[in-house]
């Protein structure tokens, strides 16, 4: 169980940010990291300018008065934490459900570019969030309804994934 926990990272719908800890402490889970690496990842997740503008930068203590992070910034900080502390398996639980389209685009780019060496398990209601994945499993009523590549599922007449994608406007956008 210990080995499993060390190889899995979870980013939830309500990202974990430790209030009373600094930005740096929220990023460094497994010991001290090189500052240039932290700044590179913050640039990758497009938070570097925001963090630089904080009163003490990386050493700013996160609380409700000093550093108010929007939901999107909280998600990006959580993703930065995973990038700085890489794991074999990354579980994403509805991470794009409460963020705007611009932040969603950043998240999708990061997932596509930065997590190539990890297995990503994504729980999502937005079909656009998973159309570039290798495999998709559609669940309904506690059962597996479909499993295949997104392209195959989108091409399946009467399929659940195709129906969801059409309802969300994804099907027409992918033609």
Q: Check residue 5 and give its pLDDT.
A: 83
Band (pLDDT 50/70/90 cuts) for residue 173 is low
Beta bridge partners of 144: 139
Q: Which of 108, 124, 140 is the last residue of a domain?
A: 124
Integer Cα distance of 163 and 146 in angstroms: 12
Query: What is the C-alpha separation between 116 and 24, in angstroms, rounded?
Result: 25
Q: Are residues 68 and 84 in the same domain?
A: yes
Report which of 32, 80, 27 is spatially closest to residue 58, judged by C-alpha positions: 27
C-alpha span between 128 and 45 (Å, rounded): 20
pLDDT at 34 (0 to 100): 92
Query: Global pTM?
Result: 0.82
Beta carbons of 122 and 153 less than 8 angstroms apart: no
Question: Quick one: 30 and 58 in the same domain?
Answer: yes
Distance (Å, whole) CA 22 – CA 85: 17
Q: Are 47 and 81 in contact (CB under 8 A)?
A: no
* Angstrom distance (rounded) from CA 175 to CA 165: 12
Q: Based on the domain organization, do 68 and 81 belong to the same domain?
A: yes
Confidence of residue 44 (pLDDT cuts 50, 70, 90): very high
Same domain, 139 and 84: no
Query: pLDDT digit string (tens) for 146-160?
Result: 999 999 999 999 999
* Confidence tier at 32 by pLDDT (50, 70, 90): confident
d(CA 150, CA 159): 11
Can you give the CATH number for the domain in which 42 is found? 3.40.50.300
Residue 174 and residue 144 share a domain: yes
Structural domain count, the chain: 2
Average pLDDT, the chain: 88
Range of the domain at 135: 127-175
41 and 81 together in one domain: yes
pLDDT in tens, 67-125: 677 888 888 999 999 999 889 999 999 888 877 888 888 888 888 888 888 999 999 88
With CA atoms as reference, report the closest residue to 29 among 12, 8, 47, 56: 8
Mean pLDDT along residues 8-30: 89
């Amino acid at each position: 169980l210990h080995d499993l926990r060390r190889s899995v990272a979870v980013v939830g719908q309500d990202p974990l940010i430790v209030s009373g800890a600094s930005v740096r402490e929220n990023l460094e889970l497994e010991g001290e990291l090189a500052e240039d690496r932290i700044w590179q990842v913050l640039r990758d997740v497009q938070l570097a300018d925001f963090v630089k503008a904080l009163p003490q930068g990386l050493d700013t203590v996160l609380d409700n008065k000093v550093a108010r992070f929007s939901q999107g910034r909280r998600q990006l900080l959580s993703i930065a934490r995973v990038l700085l502390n890489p794991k074999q398996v990354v579980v994403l639980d509805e991470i794009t459900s409460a963020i705007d389209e611009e932040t969603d685009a950043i998240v999708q780019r990061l997932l596509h570019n930065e997590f190539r060496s990890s297995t990503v398990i994504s729980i999502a209601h937005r079909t656009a969030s998973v159309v570039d994945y290798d495999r998709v499993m559609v669940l309904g009523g506690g059962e597996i309804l479909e499993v295949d590549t997104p392209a195959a599922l989108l091409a399946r007449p009467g399929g659940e994934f195709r129906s969801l994608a059409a309802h969300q406007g994804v099907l027409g956008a992918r033609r």
